[in-house]
Amino acid sequence: MVSDQKITVQPSIGRTLGIIVGDLIMFGLFAAIGRRSHSEPTTFGDIVQIAAPFAIGWLAVAPWFKLFRPEVYGSTKIVLQRTAAAWALAAPVGLALRTLGWGKEFKIAFAITTFLFNLVLLLAWRGWTARKLQRQKPAV
């Protein structure tokens, strides 16, 4: 069960960068698992090529939901709600970039799988991050 309890999490550049790097790792994980599940090569370049449009879409949308501000992480429930809402907007941006900018064919099965798989990864990562930040003692 997700708690409504709000705890103060102090902002810091390190925390913000950690959150962003974690997001990028989630998109890379999505791409790597997808490639492996189709028995396709899983080079770093392949992973970047697949993950990039979705990461760009996410990096463009998530700030509007204040998802790169550690102080938002005082409530796991709020973080999870904002993450889901942001991904609902960022996923179509990523798919549009992939189709128009990367020249890939739009496939509905890929779109649905991408939306759901990345949603699960982002919610897991962001939920874990919120819980971890809430347990940290404030810097003196």
pTM for the whole structure? 0.86
Q: pLDDT value at position 2?
A: 53
In terms of Cβ atoms closer than 10 Å to its own Cβ (0-12, 13-18, 19+), residue 26 is buried
> For the chain (length 140 residues), average pLDDT per consecutive 10?
57 83 97 92 92 98 92 89 98 97 94 97 96 72
- Contact yes or no for 61/86 (Cβ under 8 A): yes
Residue 140 confidence (pLDDT): 45
Handedness of CA 135, 60, 116, 121 (dihedral sign): negative
At 82 the pLDDT is: 97
pLDDT score for 136: 76
- Alpha-carbon distance of 5 to 9, in angstroms, equals 12
HEC readout, the chain: CCCCCCCCCCCCHHHHHHHHHHHHHHHHHHHHHHHHHCCCCCCHHHHHHHHHHHHHHHHHHHHHHCCCCHHHHHCHHHHHHHHHHHHHHHHHHHHHHHHHHCCCCCCHHHHHHHHHHHHHHHHHHHHHHHHHHHHCCCCC
Q: Residue 14: what pLDDT?
A: 82
